[in-house]
Structure 1
């Protein structure tokens, strides 16, 4: 969290990423950023910022990956090293474990942050912009090779850009081709196909879905896709924006459908990380896994055997043309010590050159945001990811990026986990979510 390279990546559907951002921000009502979490990030920053720009400048680079955690770290490290070598900039890397970084981000930005840091497009970027915690990057744009769609995804409600995209990836249902071939299974297209496939898997002693939610966020992807399949993309985005009721019939339908699907999933998901769930799929113990393409990081030994399909339709009137496809990238912290050097670096990080260096130094199935990036080393997952995203009619960013960060982290993670512990108490779970949504969204 290898392929071959060919023609440019399809990007027509990326326009809808901007539409999803606008839909979320219609109801933007910030509750104030919670100050909490570990102090691990607070030590970042300081007074040794160096010259403001040019050769010999110092830029502190905060990364939400640590060495040994997977290819994602290798990509970021390769980009930082290349920029330092090419420009003479002293790039000081601060690498932090992914979940710790996210949980501590508010404290980090309000303390002594690094100059440039890894972050996400969507509502969470916009929240920081609204609260003055990240720097206006309008003078960094336009960026050669970066489409208007990505510029829109980098734009906050004030019309200014605060983000530079790096790459994106779809969430889909992953499986091992050899396991499907050996059993004569095929990706389902309808609800009936889907249910029949899962029943057949169980009949052969294979758990249909790998499932791990010890980290809290993976199950958000299941909610997202069920809500978009049952209630449609527009309802989903309005719900994320606080414009729909969490205790209404639509959301109860999502949880009730999820309850009927849980027997097809690995039991006790709260005691299992996403990597452990992926390993079960890699071993053939589970037939499928709903996750982002970073799933390949955890099953590198069988990565060439992976394929995926979009989650099938559950309601023919709604179809299956929406999916989560988060955009990752970079921001400049308003509290960083070297703003001009940070802007110079972040613009380079969005370039085709930077994307090529990242892809050449790590086998990670992500798709470069810059259209000028080479695709010659893309593997099968990357190529198919580009095709699937290009064919999607509507694209969401993911629950914890599409809604208020406080709501996602302090309400939805524990609420979904409560549901997974007791899936029969749908009324209680949805009533609790709505009560807390009232206080956050107003």
Structure 2
């Protein structure tokens, strides 16, 4: 499995979908085939396929606000859609089964990048080329988004509808009360944690109970800061070992954080871990901008963030900007209906409607959505991504869902027993090799 290198300029290029003025699988195998593409295509010259019957949409958006937001988009759709919502960890585990079943869901929520390419390489995703050409719903999206939504040979297999940034989120009013400020260097960050700890505040909140993937956030960022974006991509593509000196250096820095993480976090979900932040019992949370959907409405204006501090200033600065959306199963019994629904979900008015109703700080992928009225926090997020050197996504999105499972096991073991790091990394590499060899 390989991942494509994406710079800040590349990610923000194109039709300004993510730029300064707009910001921030027929069965497709590794190479695809003409027969497969023809079987999946819509009537010639029609960029928006016609629905020919009921469509099933399998959704991992189980949190109340995103779920309600998606339901509103389905209610506005002039077609017959059955929406099935599954809790995300169960959904992740079942996704290969959904896609490979004899009668799969037609459309499914998930992520752009390597994780989508991985499913496409197994011949499980529908060719969506006609949505990216002519007057197709994604034809005006940026070249960077098209690349992120395509197989290695350039066949589009994904419809991106929103993206977001990661950062260290905090409450400015709480920092003012505690007499502290955001840190720019790693040493300053650790000193900030010490100061907060001395005041009886948990410096960091992190919910890994039921959502163990959250632990990969710190791993990703520390690897970006210790070894750089290129090494990070190569590691997740199987070109380096998790049982290496470079990864051990990452875990050495991770270990420095453990005394500062709220110990209740091992029983919290990511949403539960927001509560100590809201109540000012915890100070900071490394998470995506979707955190705002878990904040009480009256407190959303008291949310800010700063970048994960720099450790090695000689390295390019990488930031995570995951991209969400939908793909369709190659085994869909109604490919035209699936693409008609995808066109609806990608339309600018429905992108904007979803973001507003979901209560998140996500950003639209369509260049036709007016972002000028977005909140100051979102405007800062746009600048944050514009000013970084390189963009990654998240552990599984830059690798695969199967590799994410190995990270979940290794990193939660590490949180529980950091002294066993040597055995943990050896086991992690062995598990990763089984994934890459499968």
TM-score normalised by structure 2 residue count: 0.85
CA spacing shift, 1:151–1:53, aligned 2, 3 Å:
closer
**CA shift in 2, pair 1:198/1:13, >3 Å:** farther
Q: In structure 2, what is the equivalent of residue 78 of structure 1?
A: 72
Distance 1:16 1:241, change over 3 A: farther
Instruction: Confirm or deny that 1:148 pairs with 2:138.
Output: no
CA RMSD of aligned residues (A): 2.2
Instruction: Determine if the alignment matches structure 1 residue 364 to structure 2 residue 355.
Output: no
Measure, in 1, the Cα distance between the counterparts of 2:349 and 2:268. Answer: 38
SS of the residue 1:424 aligns to: helix
The answer as to 2:128 corresponding to 1:132 is no
- The within-5 A match list for 1:2-401 is 12=9, 14=11, 54=50, 57-66=53-62, 69-84=63-78, 89-111=79-101, 112-142=103-133, 143-214=138-209, 215-301=211-297, 302-318=299-315, 321-401=317-397
Q: Which 5+ residue runs of structure 2 have no aligned equivalent?
A: 1-7, 15-29, 31-47
Query: Aligned pair in 2 of structure 1 residues 109, 352: CA closer, same or farther (>3 Å)?
Result: same
Q: Give the 3 Å change call, closer, same or farther, for CA 257–60 of structure 1 in structure 2.
A: same
In the TM superposition, residue 392 of structure 1 has moved relative to its aligned partner by 1.7
SS at match of 2:131: coil
CA shift, 1:335, in A, is 1.7
Among 423, 426, 433, the residue aligned to 2:428: 433
Kept in 1, the 8 Å contact 2:168–2:308? The answer is: yes
In structure 1, the residue corresponding to 2:76 is in which secondary structure?
Answer: helix
1:54 CA displacement:
3.6
For residues 157 and 141 of structure 1, do their structure 2 counterparts lie closer, same or farther at Cα, with a shift above 3 Å needed?
same
Q: How many matched pairs? A: 392
- Cα distance 1:360–1:287, how it changes in 2: closer, same or farther (>3 A)? closer
Where 2:396 maps in the other structure, the secondary structure is helix
Post-superposition offset of 1:357: 2.5
CA contact (8 A) 2:51 2:336 kept: no
**Could you report, residue by residue, the CA deviation over 1:339-385 in whole angstroms, capped at 9, with x for unpaired residues?**
01211221232221221222343422110011111224422222222
1:53 is displaced (CA, Å) by: 6.2
Q: Note the alpha carbon deviations across 1:268-326, whole angstroms, 9 max, x for none.
A: 5322211221111111011101011111222224222100011001122226x211111
1:93, distance to aligned residue in structure 2 (A) = 1.4
Deviation at residue 435 of structure 1 after TM alignment = 2.0
Match in the other structure for 2:21: none
Report how far residue 70 of structure 1 moved: 2.7
Paired with 2:10 and 2:114, the residues of 1 have a C-alpha distance of 19
Cα pair distance change 1:418/1:287, threshold 3 Å: same
Structure 2 Cα separation of the partners of residues 391 and 78 of structure 1: 35
Q: CA deviation at 1:80?
A: 1.8
TM score, norm. by length of structure 1: 0.84
- CA distance, structure 2, for counterparts of residue 382 and residue 54 of structure 1: 35
Q: Which runs of 5+ in 1 are unaligned?
A: 1-10, 18-29, 31-51
1:404 partnered with 2:394 = no
Cα distance in 2 for residues equivalent to 1:140 and 1:363: 28
Matches of 2:238 and 2:13, distance apart in 1 = 20
- 1:20 aligned partner: none
Aligned partners of 2:50 and 2:336 also within 8 Å? no
